[in-house]
Amino acid sequence: MSAMSRRRILFGGAAVGAGALLTACTSNTPATDAQVKTDTSGNANAAAGKKVVIGFSAPAADHGWIAAITNNAKAQAAQYSDVELRLVEAGSDAAAQRAALATLIGQKPDVLVMLPHDGKELDATALEAMRAGIPVVNLDRAFPSQAAYRLQLKGDNYGMGLAAGHYIGEQLKAKGATTPIIGEIPGIDSLELTQQRSAGFAAALAEYGFKVANRRPAEFTADSGQAAATALLQALPKMDALWNHDDDQGIGVLAAVKQANRSEFFMVGGAGSKTAIDTITKDDTVLKATVTYSPSMASSAISLARLIGQGKGLSDLVELQVPKDITLASETITKDNAAKYAKLGF
């Protein structure tokens, strides 16, 4: 090969690469699919009120769920003419988030919404904001101190496990199974949320006299899901049901199921991603249901932060203020109700 043609290949590669980089922002899942509440007809709270500056901080996104949290917060804030969102990147760890929040608190926003890296580590920072008279809305990861937040809005990890367990239990009971073989693929096992999900799952299965036969944790990524599922399928040559905690890693789990040519069982997902809901609707894989843990909570957090800032309550409640603790229910999405949830997929 002459030096000239070799150079041509190199430049060609560089050109292709540059082209790919330029168009890279058109990712597979466009960020425009945010979950926002727009239907506000006839709601007194919808009318523009006092201007509210909301500070927002969430960890740098490393997977789809966290990315959706930030996107949802931005999109929901854009719905209100009376809300100004001040967003700070929380960086990659709790220390970086503390530093970012210190700056944000210094700007005196009316309300502070944050998804902490770790509730325990950000507890003091939240207390400081509360003492400075800034109401704090905690998203999903609780602070140990009750005084550190005005509102806590979180998903229900234990309930998610319960929902998955009940769905699997009911399905297997209907089939007349007495000693079914049930597999479980959790996410990162050292996280408290994973342990809560697994505890809920085991508790629900126990009601039917069932238990988990094998459990292989993944890491919330598709490739780790593929590896965990491959190992699980190898360990259980015959399986009746499988719960995979996270739909993102579920892409890899479904790939592994296909690669192993297995179809004798049904699978339940977790979180409720758009891809998973589409797959359930099409009904051409083992994935028959998913239990939600929706990042739409970020949209709701912004709406509630606005109400807190304006001193308004929830219109259907008697109380004049927004409640202090809200735990979202985990819902089960199947083929029958998938259409209703399609817009909530992330």
Partner 1 sequence: MITETALPEVRERKRVRLDEGVVRNLGLVGVLAILMIIGAVTRPELYGDATWVKNNIFTILQQASAIGVVTVGMTFVLIGGGVDLSVGAIIALAGVWSTTLATQSYGPLGMVFTALVVGVVVGLINGVLISYGKLVPFIATLAMLVAARGLAAQISGKQTQISADATINGIATTKILGIPLLVLILAAVVVAGWVLLNRTTFGRRTVAVGGNPEAARLAGINVKRHTVLLYALSGLCCGIGAIMLTSQATSAQAAMANLYELDAIAAAIIGGTLLSGGRGTIVGALFGVLVFSTITNLFAINNLSTEAQNMVKGGIIVAAVLIQQFRYRSITQLFKR
- Residues of this chain that interact with partner 1 (CB under 8 A) are 13-14, 16-17, 19-29, 31, 60-64, 66-67, 189, 213-217, 219-227, 230-232, 234-235, 237, 248, 251-252, 254-256, 258-259, 275
Helix (H) or strand (E) holding 251: helix 247-259
Please report how close the Cβ of residue 342 comes to partner 1 at its closest, in angstroms: 17
Angle formed at CA 84 by CA 81 and CA 88, multiple of 5 degrees: 150
Say if CB 40 and CB 46 are below 8 A apart: yes
Please report how close the Cβ of residue 220 comes to partner 1 at its closest, in angstroms: 8
In 3D space, the residue among 173, 118, 165 whose CA is nearest the CA of residue 270 turns out to be 165
Q: Which is nearer to partner 1, 155 or 225 (CB)?
A: 225
Q: CA–CA distance from 129 to each of 51, 123, 124, 211 (Å)?
A: 20, 10, 9, 45
According to DSSP, the β-strands at 287-292 and 52-58 are: unpaired
Q: CA–CA distance from 225 to each of 9, 228, 249, 252, 256 (Å)?
A: 37, 5, 5, 5, 8
Q: Which is nearer to partner 1, 61 or 177 (CB)?
A: 61
Q: Which is nearer to partner 1, 168 or 251 (CB)?
A: 251
- The owner of tokens 């209703």 is 340
Please report how close the Cβ of residue 24 comes to partner 1 at its closest, in angstroms: 4
Q: Which is nearer to partner 1, 2 or 26 (CB)?
A: 26
- What is the rounded radius of gyration, in angstroms, for the C-alpha atoms of the chain? 23
Q: CA–CA distance from 286 to each of 228, 249, 266, 279, 338 (Å)?
A: 17, 15, 5, 9, 16
Instruction: Check the CA dihedral 165-240-259-337 and report its sign.
Output: negative
Please report how close the Cβ of residue 278 comes to partner 1 at its closest, in angstroms: 11
Please report how close the Cβ of residue 135 comes to partner 1 at its closest, in angstroms: 29
Say if CB 268 and CB 168 are below 8 A apart: yes
Q: How far apart are CA 32 and CA 54, in angstroms?
A: 21
Q: Which is nearer to partner 1, 167 or 220 (CB)?
A: 220
Q: Which is nearer to partner 1, 60 or 99 (CB)?
A: 60
Q: Which is nearer to partner 1, 136 or 254 (CB)?
A: 254
Please report how close the Cβ of residue 52 comes to partner 1 at its closest, in angstroms: 27
In 3D space, the residue among 98, 113, 176 whose CA is nearest the CA of residue 149 turns out to be 113
- DSSP code at position 103: H
Please report how close the Cβ of residue 312 comes to partner 1 at its closest, in angstroms: 33
Q: Which is nearer to partner 1, 49 or 250 (CB)?
A: 250
Please report how close the Cβ of residue 149 comes to partner 1 at its closest, in angstroms: 26
